[in-house]
Amino acid sequence: MALRIPRAELPAEIEENMLKQLGAVPENVEVTWHSPQVARDNLEFGGKVGAWGDADAGLKSYAHMAVAAQVGCSWCLDVGYFQARNQNLDLAKASQVPVWRDSDVFTPLERDVMEYAEAMTNTPPTVTDAQYASLLERLGAPAMVELTAYIAFVNLATRANVANGVTSQGFSAACEIPLAARPERPEAAAR
């Protein structure tokens, strides 16, 4: 897939900061820069979301990649592996997130978090009272509220990337693990 809107030129200072942080300028930032206010607000909110600390960072990382796999955001999976490396997560394990249901490397809690992330991502959402209560009991109220808001934000980001045609940029190459293929969705195969 190609970008559906061309990249906009970023101010030099922002481009330099992105290069320092990530080694490349994220295409999703270049695309949204057609509306600098949207791009700045998105970056600011994303930064705030990333700074939340009530929920375990590893659980949030797995939830993010589960949403990305379900939505089909290869950019988010790519950068998710890169971030997993920076969080010192098990990269072999992180590579299995797109196929987590068929993998035996995840703990019951990690599996339940990824299932919750997918349930929130479904249209309409399919979160059950029992599913929520189970996570709430194990995580506590502050972490559960954070995890829910985090997954909601990830849905915004992944869906915007896919709609704009933003795809993998190769961030995960630094991890020395291959991008895991996401399972084919039946409706995608019919197209």
- The three state secondary structure string of the chain is CCCCCCCCCCCHHHHHHHHHHHCCCCHHHHHHCCCHHHHHHHHHHHHHHHHCCCCCHHHHHHHHHHHHHHHCCHHHHHHHHHHHHHCCCCHHHHCCHHHHHHCCCCCHHHHHHHHHHHHHHCCCCCCCHHHHHHHHHHHCHHHHHHHHHHHHHHHHHHHHHHHHCCCCCCHHHHHCCCCCCCCCCHHHHCC
pLDDT band for 150, please (50, 70, 90 cuts). Answer: very high
Give the residue from 182, 56, 34, 25 showing the smallest Cα distance to 118. Answer: 182
**CB of 63 closer than 8 Å to CB of 154:** yes
Q: Is the confidence at residue 190, as pLDDT, over 60?
A: no
List of domains in the chain: 53-182 (1.20.1290.10)
Instruction: Give the model's pLDDT for residue 115.
Output: 98
- The model's pTM: 0.89
Percentage of the chain beyond pLDDT 90 is: 74
Predicted local distance difference test score (pLDDT) of residue 43: 94
Question: Is residue 47 over pLDDT 80?
Answer: yes
Q: How far apart are CA 25 and CA 21, in angstroms?
A: 9
pLDDT of 15: 95
Q: Identify the band that residue 191 occupies on the pLDDT scale cut at 50, 70 and 90.
A: very low
When pLDDT is cut at 50, 70 and 90, the band that residue 182 belongs to is: low
| Confidence label for 140 from pLDDT (cuts 50, 70 and 90) | very high
When pLDDT is averaged across residues 160-183 and rounded to a whole number, the result is 77
Average pLDDT value over all residues in the chain: 91
**Residue pLDDT, tens place only, 123-133:** 999 999 999 99
What is the average pLDDT across 34-56?
Answer: 96
What tens digit of pLDDT does each residue of 55-93 get? 999 999 999 999 999 999 999 988 888 888 888 888 888
pLDDT value, residue 132: 98
